[in-house]
Amino acid sequence: MTAPQAMPTVAIIGAGMAGLSCASLLVERGWHVTLFDKARRAGGRMASRRLETAHGTASFDFGAQYFTVRDAGFAAEVARWAEAGIASRWPDAREDAWIGVPTMNTVMQALSAPHDVHFSHHVSGVARENGRWRLLGEGMPAQHFDAAVLALPAEQAAPILALHDFELARTALFARSQPCWTGMFAFDTPLTHHHHTVRDHGIVAWAARNSAKPGRAGPESWVVQASPQWSAAHLERTPDEIAPLLLTALGEATGGTTPAPLAHSIHRWRYALSAGTGLGCLWNETQQIGACGDWLLGPRVECAWVSGRTLAKRMLGEAREAA
């Protein structure tokens, strides 16, 4: 009797939406998947943060503010999240907006829970040895993998791909992302603004009363995201320099001055918004290396999920339409 063939092993670098989407389908088909992420927990751009204040814990979704649903497969996935109570509609943003509950990151925690994820692992590259892949970086396992997936921003994927497939690397090199400075501010009293969101006012591309989102609690909390142009012009300034500028901009956008915050935090997203290549994913079948991420489709949470799923289908031999 012939022994059953061992299922492939895969290393996915990046435990954001794209990486977890790819992993979920591969694991469903019986593949052995290990994910590695430099962060302390899953999240990527669906990141959330808590700040302790004298008025309780303030919560902030400081990456993706909401997501929309167009793809049928993603719609089914979001329906499962809603049934599980970890996603809800948020009509204050737009009629078809969805958010994670009680934070955007809740969805990512649920998606990562069933998987073998190694957090706080910074993968600096991959090496091809005897037809398999070994991860490079401090604390990396000695294990070799049959396939390697880069679920990273284009700017981080490009130098790794360049050593193994220049055509894939060139695609990543031309997929540039725009930055975004993001401010998180908690206040002891509500700001006198009649709406929970603000769009395109001065340097503010987006601001939202995070504490007004469904399932949220705690003091008055606002997230402020600067425009890509302004963020790029001030990219190398320090968070301490950026904080008062975003606070002033929030006051101007909400029609008055803002009180001194109870607490605040500033985050610089170097790779916030991608234009999208329209390719879906990248895959070299001969070397068994590929990439997925929203930068291969467009700057939406859904695009990241679809890209990861598309790559998994390519790896499984179920789809050939992506480049």
pTM of the predicted structure, to 2 decimals:
0.93
pLDDT in tens, the chain (323 residues): 444 568 999 999 999 999 999 999 999 999 999 999 999 888 888 999 999 999 999 999 999 999 999 999 999 999 999 999 999 999 999 999 999 999 999 999 999 999 999 999 999 999 999 999 999 999 899 999 999 999 999 999 999 999 999 999 999 999 889 999 999 999 999 998 889 999 999 999 999 999 999 999 999 999 999 999 999 999 999 999 999 999 999 999 998 889 999 999 999 999 998 877 889 999 999 999 999 999 999 999 999 999 999 999 999 998 544 43
Secondary structure, 3-state, the chain: CCCCCCCCEEEEECCCHHHHHHHHHHHHCCCEEEEECCCCCCCCCCCEEEEEECCEEEEEECCCCCECCCCHHHHHHHHHHHHCCCEEECCCCCCCCEEECCCHHHHHHHHHCCCEEECCCCCCEEEEECCEEEEECCCCCCCCECEEEECCCHHHHHHHHCCCCHHHHHHHHCCCEEEEEEEEEEECCCCCCCCCEEEEECCEEEEEEHHHCCCCCCCEEEEEEECHHHHHHCCCCCHHHHHHHHHHHHHHHCCCCCCCCCEEEEEEEEEEEECCCCCCCEEECCCCEEECCHHHCCCCHHHHHHHHHHHHHHHHCCCCCCC
